[in-house]
């Protein structure tokens, strides 16, 4: 096939057929880019005050073409999962007993974010601030005063 026959073959097609093929290619291409492959959050983690030694759950639900992998970070560092920390099937992070570890002064408090990834790309959530609730135990004097004031008001 020489150059003249290629030109002739191209010109022998009707302009409408060429235009139809171009539009079809454009629509198929846009469908792949804008279709179900795009990741979108259904639920993102939100700020919360956690109670020591209680379970904590942070939401991260994503829709898009699977398989979708969900990972979590605390203060920018990937979170290792195990018996105490688990990522549920819907992407939610479960910390079975939220804690502040006394020996290393390390805490579960911090900024959490989840990342969803499929073969088309990655989507990172907003940062959720998780704080540890303060417990202020009453000393014996304060307990006595509180008990005394309560008994006075009941009489």
Q: For the chain, which residues make up each domain, given as ranges? A: 3-34, 40-132
| Cβ atoms of residues 127 and 112 within 8 Å | yes
Q: What is the pLDDT along the chain (155 residues), one digit of tens a residue?
A: 555 544 444 455 676 665 667 655 555 455 445 555 689 999 999 999 999 999 999 999 999 999 999 999 999 999 999 999 999 999 999 999 998 775 667 789 999 999 999 999 999 999 999 999 876 665 655 666 666 666 666 66
**Against a cut of 0.75, is the pTM above it?**
no
* Domain range 40-132, CATH architecture: Sandwich (2.60)
Rounded (5°) CA angle 112-36-59? 20
Q: CB 86: neighbour CB atoms within 10 A? A: 12
């Amino acid at each position: 096939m020489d150059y003249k026959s290629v030109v002739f073959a191209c010109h022998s097609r009707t302009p409408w057929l060429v235009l139809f093929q171009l539009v079809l290619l454009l629509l198929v291409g846009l469908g792949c880019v804008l279709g179900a492959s795009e990741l979108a959050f259904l639920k993102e983690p939100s700020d919360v005050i956690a109670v020591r030694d209680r379970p904590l759950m942070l939401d991260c639900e994503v829709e898009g073409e699977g398989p979708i992998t969900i990972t979590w970070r605390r203060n920018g560092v990937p979170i290792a999962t195990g018996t105490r920390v688990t990522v549920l099937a819907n992407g939610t992070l479960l910390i079975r007993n939220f804690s502040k570890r006394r020996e290393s002064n390390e805490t579960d408090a911090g900024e959490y974010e989840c990342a969803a990834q499929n073969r088309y790309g990655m989507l990172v959530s907003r940062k959720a601030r998780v704080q540890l609730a303060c417990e202020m135990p009453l000393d014996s004097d304060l307990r006595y005063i509180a008990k005394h004031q309560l008994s006075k008001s009941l009489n």
